Amino acid sequence: MGSRRPGAVALSRVVRVVPEVPSFAVDDGFAYSVPEGMEAEVGAVVRVPLGGRRVRGWVVAVGEPPRPRLRPILSRSGDLAVFDAALLGVLRWAAMHYVAPLAAVLAKTTPPNLPRGVRLAAPPRGVHRRARLVVGPGPAYDIIAAAISPVTAAGRSAIVVAGTIPEAEATAEALSARLGIDVPAVSSQRGGAAATAAWVRLATA
């Protein structure tokens, strides 16, 4: 077995972090070491040193090549990752499509307050498929309920996007009644605590 260079960090303890800086210059992120006792998977929200500041960032890759004198992650925010590798690919596409810094897009995936002591529910076994259903203007609650009922019955999740906040709230109420499950409505008008609570319910259901 070959020996590492003096001061190098083991492969599994090096991650790439995109800092919350509204600039295309940081889209590729920077390598940081992970302190002993800390977990930092893709999607973890962390605090890292950057240019004399302490900034929020997102882990976008793990297992970076070892190198000497890496600066360590300072802390982790919450226990839940806000995206996985598959969703990160979609977020990168969105950043490119809308010509936005990746950090600006990642910030939109993060709830105002990340909870601790919360774990994701075990994903159901079997093949996961993505499907889209587009309906026209006007209430279409029965159509939407029929489309997502097999998904929720299998223990998986579905996202319904409405054009306005009143439509979102009415749709959530109607689907809750039709499907007999909790359907939270999340909008920009809700406070930080309410948005975080809805996010946790969706992430751990």
pLDDT per residue as tens, the chain (205 positions): 444 444 444 445 899 999 999 999 999 999 999 999 999 999 999 999 999 999 999 999 998 888 888 999 999 998 888 888 988 998 999 999 989 999 999 998 888 777 676 555 555 555 455 555 555 555 688 888 888 888 888 877 777 877 788 888 888 899 889 988 888 887 767 677 777 777 777 666 6
Q: Report d(CA 44, CA 123) in Å as an integer.
A: 18
Among residues 160, 49, 43, 48, the alpha carbon closest in space to that of 92 is found at 43
Its pTM surpasses 0.75: no
11-108 CATH, one of 3.40.50.2300, 3.20.20.10, 3.40.1440.60, 1.20.140.10: 3.40.1440.60
Neighbour tally for 34: CB within 10 Å: 22
Q: Report d(CA 15, CA 27) in Å as an integer.
A: 14
Domain ranges of the chain: 11-108, 141-204
